Chain A
Amino acid sequence: MASATDTRRDLKAPTDWVAYAFVALFTVPFFIFNIAPIFFSAYLSVMKWGIFGPPRFAGLSNYRDALDNDQVRMAFTNILLYGLVIVPGVLVCGLLAALYVHNRWPLSSFARVCFFAPYVVSATVIGLVWVWLLDTQFGLINHYLSYAGIDNIPWLTSTRWSLFGVSITSIWWDMGLAFVLILAALHDIPGELYDAVEVDGASRWQRFWYVTLPMLKPVLSMVVTLQLISTLRIFSQVYVMTSGGPASSSTSVLFEIYTVAIRNQKFGLGAAMSVMLFAVILAVTLLSRRLVREQPR
């Protein structure tokens, strides 16, 4: 985050009243569509409210309903599982790809485009393409796995595999962001650090372990946090690829919110689940930042 001092007001300089006109075009829609709904969400979560009829105060019953629901509990377990699979996957793939491209060997700009490309296309593209790739009988993945003697895996149609099928897809989709962030950070490491250990005759592995990795720590922790937040909100891939199935095995909290609010029109329950999801995102984010920060240097 940029330091707050850049934005501090200069008390001696005259006030530019026209500034309010400058910020209005952005800030008015921002307040109406991005800030107000957050408070409305908290309010809605303690109400019983459908499309028709007046809202009724419901106390904490929406939260109780959510906690009592097996489906919802499964959804919360699933997003943590998604986090455990996708976050390390993205981190490792992104780091390896960035280290490779950073060498600036011939054709490295081709490699850069390839590694980043999946990030720019929509969830619909990712989802449909991977449903086809992961097709049990005719999919490319199972076809090539069969050469290694592995039987057809029902990636998206069995309760055992569906979460992994969606996770592999997500790693492929999300890796691009981690990749460019790490690549930019590698670029910023001063060359003198490498010159210094070069003199000591450090091996490539030692250079990586004692110079590169410590210097990358801030960006790696940022990647973990960003990826964790986006994984806990996983929705589009689930919606497009499996509709949460089979038997809710790949469902996510957001997918359950969508089901409850749109299909069953229980807006209060949906809002309560949204507030719970936000609390989980906040808790996990703060926890991950603290874990990274408190590690001994």
Chain B
Amino acid sequence: MTSARRFLKSHNLQPSDVPIWLLGLAIAALWVMPFVWMISTSFKYPGDVMTVDIEWLPRRVTLQNYIDIFTKYNVWRWTLNSVIVVFSSTFLCVLSGALAGYALARLNFPGKRLLFFLYIASLMVPIEVYAIPMLLGIIKVGWANTYQALILPSIGNVFSVLIFRQFFLNFPRDLEDAARIDGAGHGLIFWKIAMPLARAPLIAATVIIFVLNWNNFLWPLLAVFEDDMKTLPVGIAAFTPLYGTATQLEGYALSMAGVTILCVPSVLIFLILQRYFIQGISSGAIRG
């Protein structure tokens, strides 16, 4: 009894708060139930899915939906496309954002304020507003259905610049000044001194930009008309039994297997690097 009391006290939990505490935990668990139901459905035989009784744990378990999704549809190809596009665009966006953020925080050049103003102002104009003209341009230069059409437009994500700029503004510059006195150039200082210190914004920017790119939907949907060039989220989206084409007969079991696979990279990254992810998002950088 005393140990229970000590437990409550050490977590600054009053005995009268216990009901609220438990209720909150129940709601939190309920909040992720859709994911549990998704995974549960994905391991069911299609015939066991549409039942009047709710089976949280499948009576009969099968991997057939996962096998089907990779063998009957283009999922391997879509995964490959997503990996190529997301890795290249994340790498380019973070690298260019680090360089630009460093220059905005540390270097002295005409046009700096104007550039910063443009970055901030562009946050007001969502990509959806200019997606149509951009698509027309991409078609005219013959880039429809290409990797460069999917990669290049996602470099200009201002979030990456802002997170590095913010970090370097708040970070003491003694080490860099010392290196400058020793005659090191800006490029060397950036690469050898500043970047090794910028671990936290580097991880935060990489994780957040990676997840944004992995989940990117509108632009890949517009820029690609060939099934072979689709990214995973766009490809899997056709599996909706309500209006889609792919799974009219197989139904929800197959579509839940598809979205479970689609979840894995972003959820894993989030769970492993949670701290960086949440800090990065709630840090001043995003408050445009």
Contacts and interface: CB of A to CB of B under 8 A. Distances in A.
Contacts of B258: 128
Contacts of B13: 103, 105-106
Nearest to A230: B126
B259 A128 contact: yes
A35 B270 CA distance: 31
B108 A29 contact: no
Interface string A1-28: 1101011111001111111101101110
Interface in A91-131: 97, 100, 103-107, 110-118, 120-125, 127-131
Nearest to A137: B50
21 contacts: A2-B284, A6-B105, A6-B169, A7-B113, A13-B108, A23-B99, A30-B158, A33-B156, A40-B130, A104-B12, A105-B21, A117-B267, A124-B237, A129-B34, A132-B241, A135-B252, A138-B51, A172-B31, A180-B278, A240-B237, A267-B133
A117 B132 contact: no
A257 B132 contact: yes
Given A22-B186, A132-B255, A4 B116 contact: yes
Nearest to B8: A106
Interface stretch (A67-75, A192-200, A208-216, A270-278): A270-278
B100 A25 contact: yes
Contacts of B125: 38, 278
Nearest to B260: A125
Contact of B282 (A34, A122, A132, A181): A181
Nearest to B120: A1
Interface of B: 7, 11-13, 17, 20-21, 24-25, 28-29, 31-32, 34-35, 37-38, 41, 49-52, 54, 92, 95-97, 99-100, 102-105, 107-110, 112-113, 115-120, 122, 124-137, 139, 152-153, 155-156, 158, 160-161, 165-166, 169, 185-187, 190, 211, 214-215, 217-218, 221-222, 233-234, 236-237, 239-243, 252, 255-256, 258-259, 262-263, 266-267, 269-271, 274, 277-278, 281-284, 287-288
Interface in A11-68: 13-20, 22-23, 25-27, 29-30, 32-35, 37-38, 40-41, 43-44, 49, 51
B155 A16 contact: no
A261 interface: yes
B110 A110 contact: no
A140 B37 contact: yes
A239 B109 contact: no
B11 A104 contact: yes
Given A25-B99, A138-B50, A16 B262 contact: no
A106 B255 contact: no
B140 to A, nearest CB: 9
B212 to A, nearest CB: 10
Given A123-B217, A236-B218, A274-B128, 18 more contacts: A9-B112, A16-B109, A18-B107, A19-B107, A29-B153, A34-B127, A34-B153, A40-B134, A43-B133, A103-B21, A114-B32, A120-B215, A127-B240, A130-B34, A229-B126, A235-B217, A274-B130, A281-B126
Nearest to A141: B34
A222 interface: yes
B153 A9 contact: no
A113 B271 contact: yes
A89 interface: no
- The DSSP consensus for interface residues of chain A is helix
Sorted nearest first, the 10 A-B pairs with minimum C-beta distance are A122-B215, A30-B156, A37-B130, A22-B103, A26-B96, A184-B282, A111-B28, A19-B107, A19-B109, A25-B96
A106 B11 contact: yes
Nearest to A277: B129
- The DSSP consensus for interface residues of chain B is helix
Contact of A128 (B120, B124, B153, B239): B239
A182 to B, nearest CB: 9
Contact of A241 (B50, B124, B242): B242
A128 B50 contact: no
B136 to A, nearest CB: 5
A143 B236 contact: no
A262 interface: yes
Nearest to B169: A6
A44 B113 contact: no
Contacts of B283: 184
A162 B72 CA distance: 32
A140 B103 contact: no
A9 B109 contact: yes
Contacts of B34: 118, 129-130, 133, 172
Given A236-B218, A239-B237, A22 B100 contact: yes
Contacts of B241: 131-132
B156 A122 contact: no
Given A9-B108, A121-B266, A44 B129 contact: no
A275 B118 CA distance: 19
B153 A33 contact: yes
Contacts of A8: 112-113
